Structure 1
Amino acid sequence: MTLRLFNSLTRRVEDFQPEDPARTTMYVCGPTVYNYVHIGNARGPVVFDVLARLLRRRFGRLDYARNITDVDDKINAAAAEQGVPISAITDRFAVAYREDMAALGVAPPDIEPEATRHIPQIIAMVERLVAAGNAYAVEGHVLFAVASFEAYGKLSRRELEDMLAGARVEVAPYKRDPGDFVLWKPSTGDLPGWDSPWGHGRPGWHIECSAMAAAHLGETIDIHAGGVDLQFPHHENEIAQSECAHGGKPFARFWLHNGMLNFGGAKMSKSLGNIEKVHDLVRAHPPEALRHALMSAHYRQPLDWSDALVEQSVRTLDRLYGTLRDIDALLPAGTAPDVAIPDAVEAALDDDLNTPQALAELAAIAGNARVLRSAIGNGETSGVGPLLALATLGASLRTGARVLGLLQQSPAAWFGRGTSGDDDARIQALVEERGAAKQARDFTRADAIRDQLAGEGVLLEDTPQGVRWKRA
C-alpha cells in the first residue's frame, strides 16, 4: 500500500516516503501552557497520533516531536496576575495537558521540547539570520526582514498585502516593513528573560519552533503538522526563518493542517469564549467517545462540535463494544486468532488519513459479525467453521480499531463506566488538582473544586499526611 497525504505546500495529494528510509521525522505544534486546552486544540494531537501509528507501521523508526511553548506573553500575564513565577503556571498546565491527551488515548511524542530549554539554540539561529542579512537588530529587538525572503507566502499562497490584511500585525516605529516579525524582544525586570547579544530579552514565538525542530529533527523534516489557523503567520514565518538560517534547504517536505472545530456556528476559540475544555469534557464523557467524535469527520474539514455529536459517538461505541461482548459470550475462552489489520481500514488511512471511511469499515465488520452471531445463536448455522469465522471477525474488529486508538478496553469495562471504583479515581484526581491549584495560588480554581465536591457530598479533611476525602 502507498501512503498518500495532502501537502498544503503543493495543494495536492502526494505519495509519501521519508527522505531517509531509516528514519521518518514529524513535528507538530504543541500547546502554549497557560490554561487548560479546549477540545479544538485536541483535534490535531488525536489525528496526528493516528498518523504517527501509521508511520511506525509503514516505515519503522519515527522521531515525532511535539513542543511545549513555556515562555509567552499570555503566560507572563497569568503569572503576574497570580503573583507566581512563570514555571508555576507552565508546569501545572503542561502536566494537565499531558494528562488530558493521555485520557484521549494520545500517545506521548518521542520528543517534547520546551522553549525555555532551547534558548542557546534560539539565540544561535537568530545570530545566523542577522549575519546573513535576513534579520536586523533595533532598540533591543531583532526582527526578520520579510523582504529578504522572496518565497515568503508560498505556503498560504497569498500576496504579502493580503496576508497582513487578515492578520494581527504589530505596528512599531522600529520596523522596516509592517510584515517584519519579532525574533527576539527585550524583557524588563518583571518579565522572564535571558542574556543575548542584543540585551536581556526573550524569544518570539515563531523562532522557538524553528530552533527546536532543527535541534531534534534536523534542518529538513519530513512532516510538519498543526491546525490550519497556524498556517499564517506562524508556519509561514517558520519556513522563512528556517530556510534562510539553513542556506535555503527546505524546512519541511510535507505540511499537514487539520481543520477547525465549530461550536454554535462559530470557530471555537478562547477569544470568542465559545470553548469546551478537554479537562472538563474527559470528566463528563467517556474519553474514548471524545476521541471517536474528533475522528468522525475528515481531518482537513471543519467539524461541528456539539453534545449531540458526543452522544452519537457514545452510541456508536456502545454498539461496537456490544458486538464484542456478544461474540465473547459465544466463543470459548481464549479464542482470539491473530489477524492482520483489515485491508479496507488500512486503505482508508492510506488515503490521506480518511478516518470517517476507516470508521465505516469497522462498522461493516461489526455488522457482519452481528449477522453471523445471530445465525449461530438461532441455530441457522453450526459447527467449528462459523465459530472460527465469528472469532476472526471479532479479532479483525479489535485490530482495526486499535490503529485508531479505539476499543482499547474490555466490553465489561466500557459498560461498567461510572461505577464506584471509577468515581473514586475521579474524585481523587479532583482532590489532587485542587492541591496543585492551591500551590500555584489559583485559589479560584481550588475553591471551585472544593464547592463541586461538596455539592456531590464529598468532604475534604486536611491531615499531616495530606488531604483526605470521604463521602458525607
Structure 2
Amino acid sequence: MHSWPVPQYLPVAGEPVTLRLYDGADKKVAQVRPEGQTAGMYVCGITPYDSTHLGHAATYLTFDLIYRILLDNGFDVHYVQNVTDVDDPLFERAQRDGVDWRELGDSQIDLFRSDMELLEAFPPQDYVGAIESVDEVVDLVGKLLENGSAYVVDDPQYPDIYASVSATAQFGYESNYDRAQMEEFFRERGGDPERAGKRDALDALIWRAHREGEPAWDSPFGPGRPGWHVECAAIAANRLGPNFCIQGGGSDLKFPHHEFSAAHVEAAYGQPRMADFYVHTGMIGLDGTKMSKSLGNLVFVHKLVEQGVRPAAIRLALYEGHYRADREWSDAVLARGQQRLQGIEQALRNPGGVAAAQELVAQIRRHLANDLDTPAVLAAIDQWVENPRGKDSPEAADLVAKALYSLLGVRTFAV
C-alpha cells in the first residue's frame, strides 16, 4: 500500500535540542536516544470506515512533530503505520451503506492520504494494510501457538485462537491499569470477555475462525482472519524488529490494543519490552463529548479546507492544547488558529532583527523538545509577533519561516 508524498524539509540554523518524551509505561519524561542512527516509530493507523476527523489529525500531527524533531536532532526515522482494512466496523458501515467493504475502505484510505498531504505530515515509509499482512499474522500466530503463549478454544464450529494474558510476566506494564480497569476497557473496546472456552476473560483474539459472510484467508489452523492487536504486532516486528524506539497512538488504544500488541511481540520473541517509549495522545472533544465515528460528532479536515481554512491554521489550532491532554475543538479554537497564522505572516513582512529571530527559534526548539510543549511554543511565537523586534532583516524572516515550517509543519507565504 502506498502512502503520500514526503513534504519538503528545510534545515534550520542553530543548535538542536535533544527530544524528551513522556513514556506512559514508566510514567516519566525521558530523553529519546535511539540505538544507532535510525529511530523506529510505529503509529497505529485508521480503520477506514469514515473520513479523517480532527481527533485523527491531532494524533498524527503529534507523531509528525516527533518525526520532525528527530530529524532536527540528526536521526533518520523509520516510520511504520498500519491500516486496519479488515474489521467489524468497516463491514458494518459497508452493509449499512449498501457498498462493498473493500470499496468503502479504499475510498476512506484515499481521503486519509489526501488529508495528510494537505497537512504536510511526513508519511510512513511502510504503510501496511491488514489484508497485506495476513501471511505475517499467520506466522506470528504460529509462533505463539508453538511456544504455548496462545491456544485454540474448544469449539468445533468456530475454533478461534486466543493469546493468554499470562504469556508474559510483565503483562500490564504498558498501561499500568489494574485488573478492574482492564476488564472495563476490554469490554468497551472490542474485547469478548464472555467468549466460551477462554482460559481468562481478558485473553485476546488473534485468529478468528471463518464465519459465513465474512472474508477469510487460508492458514495452517483453518480459514479465518486476523485479530486486531496481532495485526499491529506482526507489522511492527517485521519492519522495526522486536524492540524499537516509539509505539504511539491515541490514549484510547493504551488498553487493550497497545498492551496486547506489545505482549504478542514480547511472547513471540522473548523480549522484555517491545518499545522504549509508549506515547499516547489525548482525545479531541466537540461540545463536551469525545469526537468519534460512533457518535457522529465529527469535524473533518477536508471539509475545513474546502471552506477555505488553511492547513497551517488547523495545525496552529490543534497546537493550542498539549498533545497528552483531552481538549475541546470549537469555532473559537479554529478562529484563534487563523488569527495566529495571520499575525505570524504580518510579522514575517516586518521580521525585525536576526537576534530576536534566533532567540525565537531557540525557544521553539527548547519547548518542542520538552515533551512537545506546543502551548509554550505558541506563547513564544505570540511574544515575538507582539514585541519590538529591531531593524528588519531578510535573514530573520527566512530563519523564522524555515523553523515554523520544518519544526512545526506550519507553512507560511515565506517558504
- TM-score, length basis structure 1: 0.77
Instruction: Please report the RMSD computed on the Cα atoms of aligned residues, expressed in angstroms.
Output: 2.3
Corresponding position: 1:350 with 2:369: yes
| Equivalent position of 1:156 in the other structure | 175
Match of 1:209 among 232, 237, 241: 232
User: Residue 6 of structure 1 corresponds to which residue in structure 2?
Assistant: 22
Question: Which residue number in structure 2 is paired with residue 456 of structure 1?
Answer: none
Match for 1:306 among 311, 330, 342?
330
In structure 2, the partner of 1:296 is: 320
- 2:81 alignment partner, one of 45, 66, 70: 66
Contact 2:345 2:412 in 1 (8 A): no
Note if 1:147 corresponds to 2:163: no
Q: Given that residues 220 and 250 in structure 1 are in contact (C-alpha distance below 8 angstroms), is that contact kept between their aligned partners in structure 2?
A: yes
| Aligned mates of 1:146, 1:263 — CA distance in 2 | 36
Counterpart AA for 1:28: V
Q: CA deviation at 1:249?
A: 4.1
Q: Which residue is 2:5 aligned to?
A: none
Matched, 1:280 2:303: yes
Deviations 1:130-189 (A, max 9, x none): 111110012321001113333221122122233103432312112121111100002234
Checking the alignment, whether the CA contact within 8 Å between 2:170 and 2:272 is kept in structure 1 is no
Give the whole-Å Cα distance in 1 for the aligned partners of 2:396 and 2:183: 54
In 1, distance between residues paired with 2:171 and 2:260? 8
Cα separation, partners in 2 of 1:127 and 1:340, compared to 1, 3 Å: farther
Match of 2:56 in 1: 41
Partner of 1:342: helix, strand, or coil? helix
Looking at CA atoms only, which structure, 1 or 2, has the larger radius of gyration?
1
Alignment of 1:347-386 (within 5 A): 347-368=366-387, 371-372=389-390, 386=391
- Inter-CA distance 340–99: structure 2 relative to 1 (3 Å threshold): farther
SS at match of 1:117: coil
Displacement of 1:339 after TM fit? 7.2
Is 1:90 the counterpart of 2:93 in the alignment? no
Matched, 1:26 2:49: no
Secondary structure in 2 aligned to 1:113? strand
Task: Report the counterpart of residue 404 of structure 2 in structure 1.
Answer: 401
Match in the other structure for 2:207: 184
Please report how far the alpha carbon of residue 278 of structure 1 lies from its aligned counterpart in structure 2 after TM superposition. Answer: 2.3
Residue of structure 1 equivalent to 2:67: 52
1:167 aligns with 2:186: yes
| Equivalent pair of 1:105/1:291 in contact (CA under 8 Å) | no
Residues 126/175 of structure 1: CA separation in 2 closer, same or farther (3 Å cut): same
Contact 1:362–1:400, Cα closer than 8 Å, also in 2: no
Whose relative contact order is higher, 1 or 2, with alpha carbons under 8 Å and at least 6 apart? 2
Summarize the Cα distance change of 1:50–1:367 in structure 2 as closer, same or farther, 3 Å threshold: same
Tell me if the contact between 2:405 and 2:412 (Cα under 8 Å) persists in the aligned partners: no
Q: How far apart, CA to CA, are the structure 2 residues paired with 1:188 and 1:228?
A: 31
**1:407 CA drift (Å):** 4.5
Task: Tell me the SS of whatever aligns to 1:24.
Answer: strand
**Alignment correspondent of 1:263:** 286
Deviations for 1:368-416, whole angstroms, at most 9, x for unmatched residues? 4x553xxxxxxxxxxxxx34xx3343223212212344552417x9xxx
Q: Aligned pair 1:251/2:283, yes or no?
A: no
Gaps of at least 5 residues in structure 1 are: 373-385, 414-472
- Does 2:256 correspond to 1:233? yes
Contact 1:71-1:115 within 8 A present in 2 as well = yes
**2: distance between equivalents of 1:396 and 1:297?**
25
**Equivalent position amino acid for 2:342 in 1:** D
Task: Show CA shifts across 1:312-348 (max 9, x none).
Answer: 1111111111122345xx99xxx9xx97982111111
Q: Which moved more, 1:144-153 or 1:221-230?
A: 144-153
Q: Are the counterparts in 1 of residues 242 and 271 from structure 2 also a CA contact under 8 Å?
A: no
Residues 365, 397 of structure 1: 8 Å contact kept: no
Change (3 A) 1:83 1:264: closer
- Hey, which of these two has a bigger chunk of helix by percent? 1
- Partners of 1:226 and 1:281 lie apart in 2 by 23
Q: Secondary structure at the match of 1:46?
A: helix
In structure 2, distance between residues paired with 1:407 and 1:176: 51
